[in-house]
Amino acid sequence: MANDMVLWLEEVGKEDIAIVGGKGASLGEMMHAELPVPPGFAVTAQAFRRFIDENGIAEKLFGSLDVNVDDAEILRGAEKTAKKIVSDAKVPVDIEKSIRSKYKELCKREGNEVYVAVRSSATAEDLPDASFAGQQDTFLNIKGETNVVEAVKKCWASLYGARAIYYRVKQGFDHSKVNLCAVVQIMVDAEKAGVLFSSHPSTGEQVTIIEGAWGLGESVVSGSVSPDYYMVDKRNKKIMERKISMKNIMHIRDPKTGKTVELPPPEDKKNAKVLEDDEILKLVELGEIVEDLYGIPQDVEWAIKDHEIFMLQSRPITTINKKKESKDKVATTAILEGLGASPGMAYGEAKLVADSTELGKVKPGDILVAVMTTPDMVPAMKRAAAIVTDEGGMTCHAAIVSRELGCPAVVGTRKATQLLTDGMKITVDGEKGLVFEGKKEVAAKQMAQPQASVMLARSKPITATEIKVNVSIPEATARALETQADGVGLLRIEHMILGLSKHPKQYIKEGKADEYVNELVSRIQIVVDAFYPKPVWVRTLDAPTDEFRAMEGGEGEPIEPNPMLGFRGIRRDLIDTEHFELEVRAFKELIKRGFSNMGIMIPLVQHPSELRRAKEFMRAKGLDISKIDIGIMVEIPAAALIIDQFIAEGLDFVSFGTNDLTQYTLAVDRNNEHVAHLYNELHPAILKLIEHVIIECNKAGVKTSICGQAGSNPKVAKRLVELGITSISANIDAVEAVRDMVARTELQLLLKGARERGK
Ligand code: PEP
Ligand code: MG
């Protein structure tokens, strides 16, 4: 063990956790084992300590952290003060000299001025093996001696970020006993990167799980991208599963500025597989070596550049060990009750996610627990075995997306985030809307297969009424297609927009409107292409302002007392024509590409003049609407009551949006769990409105459909067929049951007719 303040990684090993933290020690150990670790050095925890002591800032610094961490405002204030104290202090001269000389030596070895990554490796004095993973910051693509010294200081300062302070207080760590080593390593300018688990992270099975995406690994680690997923049987090295995702973002080094930037991957790469089979098997092999080295399963960050694999860090998968120690608790009574929003049962560890910065916590098989899900959580929702939320109703974001992903969900529990804690093992029953502590024994067939295909074991009945499917996220297209639906009765484009990294206005502000239109086109195209030539009704934008505000550049969204009654649907597009025009450009491009199966559906119309103005706008912007189906959502009682006037205006179809029609007819907020008991799609007033619209449309030869949640209820479907609806669009998981019910109802009607004629 060397006792210098700045050490080469090869000079440290697993016994040096107190000096270089877990990350630094593990990298040193991997270097000794000749694993492919990028070269570098560690600015030790003792260097950090001397920095604090020689500047005489200990009292001031630790005193500034003695605050009520439950008050977010006060916590942010403490962060600001502490970071300023660190940044105003000077790095001791000999330590700075050492950092500079080691960096120069790295450059000399490489033959040029190198880019480095500066990562945090924290360690607690009295508990050296405590894990502070993910609490402190990493700085990528740093070049030049002075910048490296600055980045080391920033790493030190990140020990006083709000999240890190909060974590230490809640875990009972003394701030003054936690030190930080900064690991400086040559930056791998990765073409692809990700993580690997050398054994299954939640079950401990003998499989290697690999996740990968384009560019640097940050987007996979932070959970902001949906990575490809590969599972390999370690015993026979067979690749058991490959799930190729749509990868919307990547982090790369900007060749001009040298800074790390976030960009969409090139079009031809978005849906392409990240790893070749030989790369997968090579990674499995490295995972095994590192697991053998430490004697326990590892969670490894990897990167590939010019076909060369690098290992950026490795740490033990602690979750499996815990499982071995404690026998699974057997669940008895439910600890939480909510709405069963997506059917299926799942057992796993609860992971509380406060916002998108915490998505990385959710590993495959975990249960995502949040106040409410937001569109930027979709990548983590895809990894989750189940989802539990405090808020929301059957048609909230979490409910819609989890149904499309085939992931069990319980929403509107009111207190999941208070009652559940990180790592708690729970069983989620998405059918009954219950959450149990521990494992609930269920018939094997009831356990959910996350994202499993909808297997049709028998041939589908032919129905005169078309049975379609709803799609909101492009990732659900394959599952939607497997239902053999007669088309898509609702494609919600706001989920595609909300899935982008920034607000449409931000694209416009940055002069990137074309890029935005391309994003829209490529996402919609996945669905219209998969279903071609079956019809796909694409709905124009219908996003409430509260959801848009959360996006980067969304600060300008108006704050409304009741967003559900506010600036959304067609009323928004008719005012914000700058955005409507971009939607129209995307539609035109799709028509140009030959997708004549696309229809356009206008949401939230309340007066025929809105339909007229929308059509005029689309025509004026060069969209030939005579070639495609144009329709409206009937989701405001006003539209249902004067449907004849809409028909006179000219339309090809209407579709009942019963989620909104129910809330507006009954004055029951659809997302409010406190009035969920009054939310009844079968209320006679709603059925009366629907009946009126079907009668009027049938007289005029206008197609009628339903795309609200009620259409997924076989009982409602039966009633609608009796009323003469043309098509029904259901959720992926409901298509089969609805189709069966429709077939039976049609036969009953035929039989009844024949009997009456025979009388
Ligand atoms: C509806 O209101 O029934 C509907 C399908 O639209 P959304 O749920 O997107 O408001
Ligand atoms: Mg609606």
For residues 645-663, give the mean pLDDT: 97
Contacts of residues 353-359 at CB distance under 8 Å and 24 or more positions apart, as own/partner, are 353/377, 353/380, 356/223, 356/224, 357/163, 357/222, 358/223, 359/222, 359/223, 359/224
**Residue with CA at minimum distance from ligand 1 atom 6:** 657
Angstrom distance (rounded) from CA 402 to CA 404: 5
Identified catalytic residue from 396, 407, 697, 707: 707
Q: Answer with the one of 133, 163, 186 that is the final residue of a domain.
A: 186
Decide if 666 is inside a domain. yes
Residue 322 has pLDDT above 90, yes or no: no
Note whether 417 and 496 are same-domain residues: no
- Tens of pLDDT, residue by residue over 583-623, are 999 999 999 999 999 999 999 999 999 999 999 999 999 99
Mutate to test the pocket of ligand 1, among 635, 654, 679, 686 (most ligand atoms within 8 A of CB): 635
Residue 445 has pLDDT above 70, yes or no: no
CATH code (residue 255): 3.30.470.20
Helix 513-531 to helix 577-592 angle (10° resolution) is: 50
CA of 259 to the centre of ligand 1 (A): 42
Residue 103 has pLDDT above 80, yes or no: yes
Confirm whether 692 is a catalytic residue: no
Ligand 1 near 660 CB (within 6 A): yes
Ligand 1 near 219 CB (within 6 A): no
Cα dist. 276→251, 301, 454 in Å? 21, 18, 27
Decide if 545 is inside a domain. yes
Residue 318, pLDDT score:
66
Closest by alpha carbon to 230, among 214, 212, 242, 247?
Answer: 242
* pLDDT range class, residue 233, cuts 50, 70, 90: very high
Contacts of 100 (CB under 8 A, 6+ apart): 145, 148, 149
CA of 329 to the centre of ligand 2 (A): 42
Name the burial class of residue 562, with classes exposed (0-12), middle (13-18) and buried (19+) by CB atoms within 10 angstroms of its CB.
exposed
- Tens of pLDDT, residue by residue over 407-432, are 999 998 989 999 999 989 999 999 88
CA of 108 to the centre of ligand 1 (A): 62
Mutate to test the pocket of ligand 1, among 707, 709, 727 (most ligand atoms within 8 A of CB): 707
Residue 543, pLDDT score:
83
Least confident span in 122-131, 354-363, 692-701: 122-131
Ligand 1 near 657 CB (within 6 A): yes
Q: Answer with the one of 170, 186, 202 that is the final residue of a domain.
A: 186
Angstrom distance (rounded) from CA 56 to CA 133: 28
Q: Which stretches within 295-356 are classed as H helix? A: 318-325
Note whether 566 and 590 are same-domain residues: yes
Residue 245, pLDDT score:
80
Name the burial class of residue 325, with classes exposed (0-12), middle (13-18) and buried (19+) by CB atoms within 10 angstroms of its CB.
exposed
Note whether 221 and 85 are same-domain residues: no
* pLDDT range class, residue 189, cuts 50, 70, 90: very high
Residue 541, pLDDT score:
94
Per the CB < 8 A criterion, the answer to whether 396 and 372 are in contact is: yes
Decide if 208 is inside a domain. yes
Cα dist. 81→61, 88, 338, 566 in Å? 8, 11, 42, 40
Note whether 509 and 385 are same-domain residues: no
CA of 604 to the centre of ligand 1 (A): 9
Residue 156, pLDDT score:
94
CA of 753 to the centre of ligand 1 (A): 35
Decide if 328 is inside a domain. no
Higher-confidence residue: 575 or 446? Answer: 575
- Tens of pLDDT, residue by residue over 622-640, are 999 999 999 999 999 999 9
Note whether 39 and 94 are same-domain residues: yes
- Tens of pLDDT, residue by residue over 112-123, are 999 999 999 888
Closest by alpha carbon to 731, among 706, 694, 695?
Answer: 706
Ligand 1 near 547 CB (within 6 A): no
Note whether 155 and 46 are same-domain residues: yes
Residue 498, pLDDT score:
80
Per the CB < 8 A criterion, the answer to whether 390 and 415 are in contact is: yes
| Per-residue tokens: 218 | 């940050």
Ligand 1 atom nearest 492 alpha carbon:
9
Mutate to test the pocket of ligand 1, among 468, 491, 492 (most ligand atoms within 8 A of CB): 492
Ligand 1 atom nearest 470 alpha carbon:
5
Angstrom distance (rounded) from CA 133 to CA 222: 12
* pLDDT range class, residue 9, cuts 50, 70, 90: very high
**Residue with CA at minimum distance from ligand 1 atom 5:** 708
CA of 633 to the centre of ligand 2 (A): 8
**Residue with CA at minimum distance from ligand 1 atom 1:** 657
Residue 713, pLDDT score:
94
| Per-residue tokens: 157 | 């300062």
Q: Tell me the pLDDT of the chain averaged across its residues.
A: 89
Ligand 1 near 658 CB (within 6 A): yes
CATH code (residue 368): 3.50.30.10
Ligand 1 near 716 CB (within 6 A): no
Ligand 1 near 99 CB (within 6 A): no
* pLDDT range class, residue 547, cuts 50, 70, 90: confident
* pLDDT range class, residue 2, cuts 50, 70, 90: very low
Residue 131, pLDDT score:
66
Strand, helix or coil for residue 361: helix
Note whether 407 and 527 are same-domain residues: no
Ligand 1 near 708 CB (within 6 A): yes
Residue 326 has pLDDT above 60, yes or no: no
Residue 417, pLDDT score:
93
Note whether 72 and 208 are same-domain residues: no
Note whether 182 and 196 are same-domain residues: no
654 beta partners: 632, 704
| Per-residue tokens: 267 | 């079009």
Least confident span in 325-334, 403-412, 523-532: 325-334
**Residue with CA at minimum distance from ligand 1 atom 8:** 659
Residue 130, pLDDT score:
64
Residue 453, pLDDT score:
38
Q: State the DSSP string of 666-679.
A: HT--TT-TTSGGG-
Identified catalytic residue from 200, 251, 397, 495: 397
CATH code (residue 82): 3.30.1490.20
Query: Does the N-terminal peptide bond of residue 375 adopt cis geometry, omega within 30 degrees of 0?
Result: no
- Tens of pLDDT, residue by residue over 656-686, are 999 999 999 999 998 888 898 899 999 999 9
Decide if 553 is inside a domain. yes
Angstrom distance (rounded) from CA 274 to CA 254: 21
The share of the chain scoring above pLDDT 90, in percent, equals 64
Angstrom distance (rounded) from CA 648 to CA 381: 44
Decide if 459 is inside a domain. no
Higher-confidence residue: 699 or 673? Answer: 699
Higher-confidence residue: 99 or 365? Answer: 99
- Tens of pLDDT, residue by residue over 372-395, are 887 777 888 888 999 999 988 878
User: Considering the entire predicted model, what is its pTM?
Assistant: 0.68
Q: Which stretches within 5-71 are classed as H helix? A: 17-32, 45-55, 58-64
Ligand 1 near 712 CB (within 6 A): no
Domain that holds residue 150: 2-186
Residue 442, pLDDT score:
63
- According to the 3-state scheme, what is the secondary structure of 489-551? EEEEHHHHHHCCCECHHHHHHCCCHHHHHHHHHHHHHHHHHHHCCCCEEEECCCCCHHHHHCC
Strand, helix or coil for residue 680: coil
Residue 435, pLDDT score:
95
* pLDDT range class, residue 327, cuts 50, 70, 90: low
Residue 183 has pLDDT above 90, yes or no: yes
φ and ψ at residue 653, rounded to 5 degrees: -155, 160
Decide if 179 is inside a domain. yes
Note whether 64 and 178 are same-domain residues: yes
Note whether 51 and 89 are same-domain residues: yes
CA of 127 to the centre of ligand 1 (A): 53
- Tens of pLDDT, residue by residue over 201-221, are 766 788 999 999 999 998 888
Q: In 278-295, which positions are buried (b, 16+ CB within 10 angstroms) versus exposed (e)?
A: ebbbbbbebbbebbebbe
Angstrom distance (rounded) from CA 707 to CA 65: 53
Q: Answer with the one of 257, 290, 316 that is the final residue of a domain.
A: 316
CA of 636 to the centre of ligand 2 (A): 9
Residue 358 has pLDDT above 90, yes or no: no
Strand order in the sheet with 339-342: 334-337, 434-437, 425-429, 345-352, 367-370, 386-389, 409-411, 339-342
Ligand 1 near 635 CB (within 6 A): yes
Residue 382, pLDDT score:
86
CATH code (residue 666): 3.20.20.60
Residue 579, pLDDT score:
95
CA of 492 to the centre of ligand 2 (A): 10
Residue 154, pLDDT score:
94
Decide if 106 is inside a domain. yes
Angstrom distance (rounded) from CA 85 to CA 97: 22
Confirm whether 707 is a catalytic residue: yes
- Looking up tokens 């033990």 gives 316
Q: State the DSSP string of 255-305.
A: TTT--EEEEPPPHHHHTS-S--HHHHHHHHHHHHHHHHHHTS-EEEEEEEE
Domain count, the chain: 4
Note whether 570 and 655 are same-domain residues: yes
Ligand 1 atom nearest 490 alpha carbon:
5
Strand, helix or coil for residue 51: helix
Strand, helix or coil for residue 471: strand
Mutate to test the pocket of ligand 1, among 660, 681, 693 (most ligand atoms within 8 A of CB): 660
Ligand 1 atom nearest 635 alpha carbon:
2
Q: Which stretches within 559-703 are classed as H helix? A: 569-575, 577-592, 608-620, 637-641, 643-649, 658-666, 684-700
Per the CB < 8 A criterion, the answer to whether 102 and 9 are in contact is: no
Residue 376, pLDDT score:
74
